[in-house]
């Protein structure tokens, strides 16, 4: 029953006896007096607590044995967002927002207490009214997935949808995406849609829209401003630059990674400054080169996911690599130590993989810097065994690029050539 989602046993009886359901606004006296909205519970939790969303946006669990008084302030049926129809302004540019999931394009449904996807332009305007003053925004939901559940097939779905709008009225496209795997998606789109004629930005939120410290609205505002005012193309990730609300970063989709679990400034450009910064509503260009200005847009929306990312560590077992080699993988990207090394315990396996025609690429575990496999003897040995150094390509980006390259070529020499070609600034100068 949606009105009691996650509640069972004692907690369910508590709600029923007090004539309460999920989404009701209440005042509860326990150790302190709390006001908020009754939220759904995680179904595997105990039945001795209820969950309350406070006015600050944070959730709190209250022990039923400690509750001395409950006052129902209003019913969930009376707490609704009033969404007004938006009239498009013909003088404003047009933006498309494609939602794939994550908290960035979500809102709190106060009828149920749950966080739900934003489905319409009206809902988006209700959540971030500043956007309607900057652009006419159309919305479409492609799918709704936590980002850890987004797979290569989803990348294909997003890319094919973007191709539909390559010659459209839109000045740019926003992709609302969960943060955990956002840089994987941005990498694939950068390769598959190289030369796309309008800018595409992926936007996420580290903190949900119901929290006072949420970055959702400001990231969306920054992304929209970037698309409206910056005359460029290519694929970018747009997120908070630091913990303040004054600067938004626009990162190349192939030079960015998530470097913190929870900070609003979790995303950073590796090895350089962000391509663009939005500071106090003004756009500052840092990019020295523009790799996206190709003469023709020819989408190559193919991939082969038979690529392994192997993180080498002391104690890595050779039989693990042996299993990968025997599992019909077509490429292995090593995340090696330092300048690009793996232990000699794997040399025989590397030789076998090379002889089998598997592409072998080397990246580094180091956050910054460039692979240099000619400096030490061990690196030169690996070069002789067929491993290809991938400059300063981020390991996850190299993984995605290899999937894309293998989806577009079966020729070993061509695969190596494209992996070393700078398609979309994945290797910075």
What pLDDT score was predicted for residue 217? 84
How far, in Å, CA of 227 to CA of 94, rounded? Answer: 10
Give the lowest-confidence range in 17-26, 373-382, 419-428: 17-26
Distance of CA 263 to the CA centre of its chain: 14
Quick one: pLDDT band at residue 110, thresholds 50, 70, 90? very low
pTM of this prediction?
A: 0.85
The pLDDT of residue 117 is above 80: no
How far, in Å, CA of 347 to CA of 132, rounded? Answer: 59
126-174 confidence digits (pLDDT tens): 678 888 899 999 989 898 888 899 999 999 999 999 999 999 999 999 9
225-255 confidence digits (pLDDT tens): 999 998 899 999 999 898 888 899 999 999 9
Letter string b/e over residues 121-136, b meaning 16 or more CB atoms within 10 A of that residue's CB = bbbbbbbbeebbebbb
How far, in Å, CA of 79 to CA of 57, rounded? Answer: 16
Active-site amino acid positions: 103, 179-180, 258
What pLDDT score was predicted for residue 75? 80
What pLDDT score was predicted for residue 70? 93
255-282 confidence digits (pLDDT tens): 999 999 988 899 999 999 999 999 988 9
CATH code of the domain occupying 2-78: 2.30.30.520
Quick one: pLDDT band at residue 23, thresholds 50, 70, 90? confident
What pLDDT score was predicted for residue 108? 56
Can 2-78 and 94-285 be said to share one CATH topology?
no
Quick one: pLDDT band at residue 215, thresholds 50, 70, 90? confident
CATH architecture of 94-285: 3-Layer(aba) Sandwich (3.40)
Instruction: Tell me the CATH number of domain 307-419, given options 3.10.450.630, 3.40.50.40, 3.80.10.10, 3.40.30.10.
Output: 3.40.50.40
309-348 confidence digits (pLDDT tens): 999 999 999 999 999 999 999 999 999 999 999 999 999 9
CA atoms within 13 A on the CB side of 210: 21
Domain boundaries along the sequence of the chain: 2-78, 94-285, 307-419
Quick one: pLDDT band at residue 389, thresholds 50, 70, 90? very high
- By the 8 A CB rule, do 165 and 199 touch? no
394-413 confidence digits (pLDDT tens): 999 999 999 999 999 999 99
- Residues of the chain with pLDDT > 70, as a percent, come to 87
């Amino acid at each position: 029953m949606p009105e009691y989602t996650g509640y069972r046993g004692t907690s369910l009886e508590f709600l029923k006896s007090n004539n309460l359901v999920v989404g009701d606004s209440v005042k509860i006296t326990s150790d302190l007096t709390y006001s908020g909205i009754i939220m759904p519970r995680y179904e595997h939790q105990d039945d001795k607590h209820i969950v309350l969303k406070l006015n600050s946006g944070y959730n709190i669990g209250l022990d039923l044995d400690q509750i001395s008084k409950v006052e129902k302030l209003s019913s969930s049926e009376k707490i609704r967002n009033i969404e007004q129809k938006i009239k498009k302004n013909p003088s404003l540019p047009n933006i498309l927002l494609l939602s794939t999931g994550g908290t960035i394009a979500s809102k709190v449904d106060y009828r149920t207490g749950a966080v739900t996807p934003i489905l319409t332009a009206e809902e988006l305007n209700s959540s971030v009214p500043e956007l309607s003053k900057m652009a006419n925004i159309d919305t479409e939901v492609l799918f709704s997935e936590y980002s850890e559940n987004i797979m290569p097939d989803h990348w294909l779905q997003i890319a094919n949808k973007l191709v539909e709008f390559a010659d459209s009225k839109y000045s740019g496209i926003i992709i609302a995406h969960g943060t955990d795997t956002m840089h994987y998606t941005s990498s694939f789109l950068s390769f598959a849609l190289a030369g796309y004629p309008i800018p595409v930005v992926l936007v996420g939120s580290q903190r949900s829209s119901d929290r006072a410290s949420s970055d959702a609205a400001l990231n969306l505002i920054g992304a929209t401003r970037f698309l409206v005012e910056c005359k460029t193309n290519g694929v970018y990730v747009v997120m908070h630059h630091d913990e303040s609300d004054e600067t938004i970063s626009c990162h190349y989709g192939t030079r960015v990674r998530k470097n913190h679990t929870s900070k609003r400034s979790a995303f950073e450009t590796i090895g350089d400054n962000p391509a663009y910064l939005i500071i106090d509503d003004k756009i500052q260009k840092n990019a020295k080169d523009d790799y996206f200005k190709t003469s023709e847009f020819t989408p190559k929306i193919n991939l082969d996911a038979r690529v392994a990312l192997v993180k080498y560590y002391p104690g890595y077992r050779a039989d693990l690599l042996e299993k990968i080699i025997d599992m019909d993988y077509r490429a292995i990207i090593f995340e090696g130590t330092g300048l690009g090394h793996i232990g000699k315990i794997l040399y025989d396996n590397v030789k076998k993989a090379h002889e089998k025609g598997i592409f072998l690429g080397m990246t580094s575990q180091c956050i910054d810097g460039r692979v240099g496999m000619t400096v030490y003897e061990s690196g030169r040995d690996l070069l002789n065994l067929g491993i290809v150094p991938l400059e300063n390509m981020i390991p996850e980006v190299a993984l995605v690029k290899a999937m894309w390259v293998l989806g577009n070529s079966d020729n070993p020499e061509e695969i190596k050539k494209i992996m070393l070609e700078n398609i979309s600034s994945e290797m910075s100068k």
